[in-house]
Amino acid sequence: MTILRRTLLQLAVLPCALAAGLSWSQAPIVIKFSHVVAKNTPKGEAAEKFAQLAAEKTKGRVKVEVYPNSALYKDKEELEALQIGAVQMLAPSLAKFGPLGAKEFEVYDLPYLFDNYDELHRVTQGPIGKSLLQKLEPRGIIGLAYWDNGFKDFSANKPLKKPDDFKGVKMRIQSSKVLDSEMRALGANPQVMAFSEVYQALQTGVVDGTENPPSNFYTQKMHEVQKYLTHSGHGYLGYAVIVNKKFWEGLPPDIRKSLEEAMAEATTYANQIAKKENDDAIEAVRKSGKTQILELTPAERAELKKTLTRVHAMQAERIGPELIKSIYKETGFDPAN
């Protein structure tokens, strides 16, 4: 069903609700929050937390309906749905804003840019992160917060440890030119694909491998169809929580304030649980006995890092050299090391 048709159907239900005796003042404001991952992931749990806090803080005047696992929309569709107002809230991965024209967000995809969550938070929770979110406003979107997932690992049906191992391997990526460049730097063959299609594509051999934090790998059951997971932590994957600007600015000010408070608390929660969820997921993969977890030696890690950090210079013009430099300054990243 097209997004337009779905929206028209949703609008068609409204007169019935009114005829049934509901008045505007009684009916709660509904926020449809669509996302593509499982419920038991950092994003899935944070979305549920936000729904619960929003109901509490607005005393039931707002109802957040969370739709996980691409139940409403897949990656590309969900951004279109937000812009036309068919859903009000999303938390797409930062790697998915390029097609909207906000290519600066792909800075977060640069391999090895952040060594840990502390370095990352200096950017996402500081002025650089804030100014990036503001770039969404001309596109009819307000960026409310950053939610963490974690650091990505490579997976495939063959061990991927050295750049040579990647030659000709078909790797699923998100829609980010930086990730395309990352895979090409390794000699792999990148293929953009919606998250909801990855399991099947791995199962049927449409692609050979992929990259994701362990929480996504495990909850999408990718360990059933991938023999090896390289514990590389070579890049970050996290989210921007975004709302339709017209909807947000049209909310009564007291409601908006309560929702901002709910978002601040849900963000603290999201960023507290993310690391443990990923640590637990990798343990669960190990215990499943289905995927072998490969640890890199310091020399292997150094070789991979050397190959992959070349992507920073290759993508600097597209993302903005000044933005990249300002992040290096914040985190202490040294491109020569």
198 vs 262 by CB, closer to ligand LMR: 198
Residue by residue, what is the 3-state secondary structure of the chain?
Answer: CCHHHHHHHHHHHHHHHHHCCCCCCCCCEEEEEECCCCCCCHHHHHHHHHHHHHHHHCCCCEEEEEECCCCCCCHHHHHHHHHHCCCCEECCEHHHCHHHCCHHHHHHHCCCCCCCHHHHHHHHCCHHHHHHHHCCHHHCEEEEEEEEEEECEEEECCCCCCHHHHCCCEEEECCCHHHHHHHHHCCCEEEECCHHHHHHHHHHCCCCEEEECHHHHHHCCHHHCCCEEECCCCCEEEEEEEEEHHHHHCCCHHHHHHHHHHHHHHHHHHHHHHHHHHHHHHHHHHHHCCCEEECCCHHHHHHHHHHHHHHHHHHHHHHCHHHHHHHHHHHCCCCCC
Q: Which of 1, 54, 19 is nearest to 265 (CA)?
A: 54
Q: What's the closest the beta carbon of residue 75 comes to ligand LMR, in angstroms? A: 6
Encoding tokens for residue 297?
């030696």
Q: Which residues bind ligand LMR (CB under 6 A)?
A: 36-37, 93, 149, 174, 195, 212, 216
Q: What's the closest the beta carbon of residue 313 comes to ligand LMR, in angstroms? A: 25
124 vs 258 by CB, closer to ligand LMR: 124
Q: What's the closest the beta carbon of residue 216 comes to ligand LMR, in angstroms? A: 5
Q: What's the closest the beta carbon of residue 212 comes to ligand LMR, in angstroms? A: 5
62 vs 179 by CB, closer to ligand LMR: 179
36 vs 113 by CB, closer to ligand LMR: 36
29 vs 201 by CB, closer to ligand LMR: 201
Q: What's the closest the beta carbon of residue 211 comes to ligand LMR, in angstroms? A: 8
96 vs 245 by CB, closer to ligand LMR: 96
Separation between Cα atoms, residue 192 and residue 68, nearest integer Å: 21
Separation between Cα atoms, residue 181 and residue 195, nearest integer Å: 19
Q: What's the closest the beta carbon of residue 172 comes to ligand LMR, in angstroms? A: 8
Q: What's the closest the beta carbon of residue 283 comes to ligand LMR, in angstroms? A: 19
Q: What's the closest the beta carbon of residue 195 comes to ligand LMR, in angstroms? A: 3
State which residue has the least CB distance to ligand LMR.
93
174 vs 230 by CB, closer to ligand LMR: 174
192 vs 255 by CB, closer to ligand LMR: 192
- In degrees rounded to 5, what are phi and psi of residue 239? -130, 155
